[in-house]
Amino acid sequence: MFALMFSICLMFSDYHYQYLGHVRSGFSFVVSPLQYAVDYPVRIMGWAQALVSAKTSLISENMELRYQQTLLEAELQKLMAIKEENSQLRELLLTSSKAKMKAMAAQILAVDTSTSRQLVILNKGKRDGVYTGQPVLDAKGVMGQIIDVGYMTSTVLLISDAKCAVPVRNTRTGERAILVGTNNLGQLSLINLPRTSSTNKGDLLVTSGLGRLYPEGYPVGRVESVTSVPGDDFIKVEVSPVALLNRNRLVLLIWPDKEQEILTAQINERMNALGAAT
């Protein structure tokens, strides 16, 4: 009870007469370093938590920016692909307009270019009027012919396939020959050319129109080398295709005009008649 009364008296005196001010100041001088020492770890912990939070936020922001960058790069690549496709379409349209016959663009869905066969699959089939034997071009020249037709897709035998043979004409000399594939996308070969042939490197070979398959005048290949083999009656002629056999995404299907269909039908009749006569 005495302690309580004494405390009340001290508080009353200090409130009215500031008797304990110096005592409090001295006590604060002694206690403040201790308070600071006790509070310092708490402050350090707060700063550390703030740094960790800021670092976490920066990492999250960085990841989001990287994600956005990846999306933008993907969109850019897509736009570049669309631009390239539009360029190919323009070239195909120019080719079809020069051909002056019905034409349709088709997309390559799959590629099978091994050492044993050279094929591509298109997204056009019977429902689009595609037929077996139909010529296939790109913006540069002849790519091949349709060998199998499904309802929605079709298969193209590329001119680089060893089973493919294209009747061609040398635009410089007028000589006719047969160009065959070698199962190599970048190499074709002229066969049965005699040593007397004047074929030279750089000569352009176009479809001759013989064989009733490819219309006349379409570029097929360019002569890369001419080699004479000792003791052989024929020369070895290597040809590079002008069509971009391994880089195309879009190709052109063409249909013969009515006049060509009639002419082809008449030729077939005569050939059949000659075969029956023999």
Q: What is the pLDDT of residues 118-148, one digit of tens each?
A: 999 999 999 999 999 999 998 888 999 999 9
Pick from 75, 99, 123: which residue ends a domain?
99
The whole domain housing 143 covers 102-258
Domain co-membership, 106 together with 89: no
Domain identity same for 28 and 144: no
> pLDDT tens digits for 18-28?
545 555 555 55
Judge whether 88 lies within some domain: yes
pLDDT band per the 50, 70, 90 thresholds, residue 216: confident
Total domains, the chain? 2
Mean model confidence pLDDT for the chain:
78
Strands 234-241 and 219-228: antiparallel
Q: Is residue 199 part of a domain?
A: yes
What is the mean predicted confidence (pLDDT) over 247-268?
A: 71
Q: Where residue 180 sits, what CATH number does that domain have?
A: 2.40.10.340
Residue 265 lies in a domain: no
Q: What is the mean pLDDT of residues 30-58?
A: 66
Query: Do 71 and 109 fall within a single domain?
Result: no
Q: Is pLDDT larger for residue 23 or for residue 82?
A: 82
- Pair (115, 173) in one structural domain: yes
